[in-house]
Structure 1
Amino acid sequence: MSLSTTTPAPLTTAELPGPLSRDLMARKQAAVADGVGTTMPVFAARAHGGLVEDVDGNELIDLGSGIAVTTVGASHPAVVEAVQRQVAEFTHTCFMVTPYEPYVRVAERLNALTPGDHDKRTVLFNSGAEAVENAIKIARHATKRSAVVAFDHAYHGRTNLTMALTAKAMPYKAGFGPFAPDVFRAPMSYPFRDGAGVDGPAAARRAIDVIEKQVGAGDLAAVVIEPIQGEGGFIVPAPGFLAALADWCAANGVVFIADEVQSGIARTGRMFAVDHEGVVPDLVVSAKGIAGGLPLSAVTGRAELMNSVHVGGLGGTYGGNPIACAAALAVFDVIEQDGLLQRALDIEQLVRGRLGELQAADPRIGDVRGRGAMLAIELVQPGTTDPDPALTKAVAAYAHSRGVVALTCGTHGNVLRLLPPLTITDEQLHRGLDVLADALAAAR
């Protein structure tokens, strides 16, 4: 069975999960560590655009993009062609041994695409966590300071240092300590929960007050923040919050790091989410959507910071793998040639319209937020702001049973997030949203 790009609905030919997925799940449980969980108990066989087909022949509408990775759609033809071409040339030499042009071209593109017109340099890695950790290495080396500030609700990865930066204990940190030292936490701007009178500048003053009292600018190497928080709940800070933080960092010689792992590479309707606020970070971390499903990440930043590290201090055996670089170059071209920045804004208009209608009729939807194709609803007890993780779990489970890939997030587990590929059709989007509406109705 081949996937259709015009299929208007999930086409479930068997129950979910089907017999082949159930057999594979049994094998998974016997072979894979229990600590590796899965959102849905179905096994993928192939995917294209906004659809995923499982091993039993069920077609699923993809509102998750592999957690914001397949931004240009699963198996985009241009990405497939670029990867096949590179595989035929060579798969690996290690850039630190015998370098190759695709790595340089990716660095050139990121230097041009990231915010600001200053002189920049880029270094490539494999995962978002690895890139975040290296951004902090660079900041510490350049400033000769050690302290780092992250924020409430933050998620930055699963390595020891990035777990220290991450706010949520379960499942990311519980039982894995002790963590890297000299990491401090400041309050985030959270408009839905901050209350009246706490606008962006006020929230920034609150955060800066905590930073100055608990850390002190003289010992602070970097402030690292997601311009739109991902796992923490798709929290969009109030206007002016990021700019005030960046200004304070500049005035105090602190490196301002934008973690754009989930929000970057056209996801929000701009190439990077900080572009919406006119903020120019010192260092930008990108990953996830950068290479169409292949492992690649990057740190891009001011040349004087990036070049402060001694030769050999940055790198890795697989960092900037040539196949992943070829995929990334294809992704950049597809975004530009297919107008996917505008497509992200069109998706926002469509989805916000539908979610707004649901919110007007359902007091359990406390907030609708996000930018571009990075949108979410926060579910609460009616008439309050008390989180309702049980409802969120039930809505997601219903969607999964009807063939819609939907993800949850949030510190309290009460946020349903939507991350569709930018190549998903309007018809597929509407059908996916129809299922979410049915799920909310069924959970009353």
Structure 2
Amino acid sequence: MSEVAGDLGTGRASVGAVLDFAWDAGVFTATDAMAQTSLTRSTAIEAIDTLVSLGVLHELPNAREAGSYRSGRPARRFTLASDLGVVVGMDAGDTHLAVTVADPLERTLVHHRTDLDPTHSPDERRAVILAQLQQALDEAGASPDAVLAICVGVAAPVNRDGVSPPHPLGFWERTNPQLAHALTGLAPVVEVKNDALLAAVAEGSDPRGAAIGCRDYVALLAGERFGGGVVVDGQLLHGAHGGVGEGVVFDHIIGVGSAFGLGPALQTRVREALAEGEIPAEGPTGQLAAARRIDPRAVLDLAASGDPDAALVVDRVGRTLARIVGVLGSMYDPAKVIICGAVAESIEPVLAAARGILPAQLHLPAPELVASALGAEVVSLGAVATARRAARERAVPQRAVQRLAAR
């Protein structure tokens, strides 16, 4: 239960306890609330009535009015108000922007995904993000005061104030163009987070997540660049500047040499193998190199179908991945390393190659290496989950306190 929730009703924690219970309860009665909160009947009813009067709970028709009454006094029924507001989750990657407007419980109201121009200045990028946010809110029919919480994932380390440290080439300042400041005032709670950290949130909270029930794991965003969201003993690791899991470390690892992800690695290995005469130019894999940009999925599909040239490339990328996972395993001792992002849906041939040599990369037991089932939306899902948690623990209790004070 949040501290703010405990302040409801002139300091009575009973109101906060009932509010916390209501988020997961669906339709409930006072008896249900008593059983889960250990409150007496009179205290539970008083707390429920307070929340109803504040517009946080809605009272539903009783059993008789709903047509299910059989005998005895019909119980009053309640549920969390459906008009509490909306939450927003955004994935502001280097070259894409996804905006999701959702209710605080489970429904997605609007989801947009569009390209971002990586040559934009920070000011231009910020303007596009704010415009796309407003467009999504307008489409959802959400008024400005309906927004409870906003969470944005960016491809940069982010400290606890939503600020990214300076980057030698200005990349972090561009991918996080002072978004925390720009979004202040648009919602009671605004959070800017590293995208890999939000991927870790999604893997541990979404019903399809690979880390459900796991307390020690790394969610490794591995498409264009490597970045890890790290969970140890059930806690997300952050760091002084939000840099835990930052991929720049792989620039300095022998056998890896770059923070670029599995997509670029597959392209590079195809061109290297072709240049060294290890695969023929006329073969299916060699022909891919004629394109300006090699589609990594095409290489993976060829490997999965048994093409020996693609298998050679995939084996080499698998060795690189094994080295990366070995470093993560030695640093954080995870039970699982989850490969996340759009590349995950076709990455199994690389994972199979990596698993064969992974145990030799570290002295600890090797982590389980798996592909995410959450696809390209993994960061968006984590952002929405984080915004929902902020609405539950902070925004809705704060609004209830404000309404109580305004009586």
Q: Shorter-chain TM-score category? A: under 0.3
* Larger-Rg structure: 2
TM-score, with structure 1 as normaliser: 0.24
Per the normalisation by structure 2, the TM-score is: 0.26
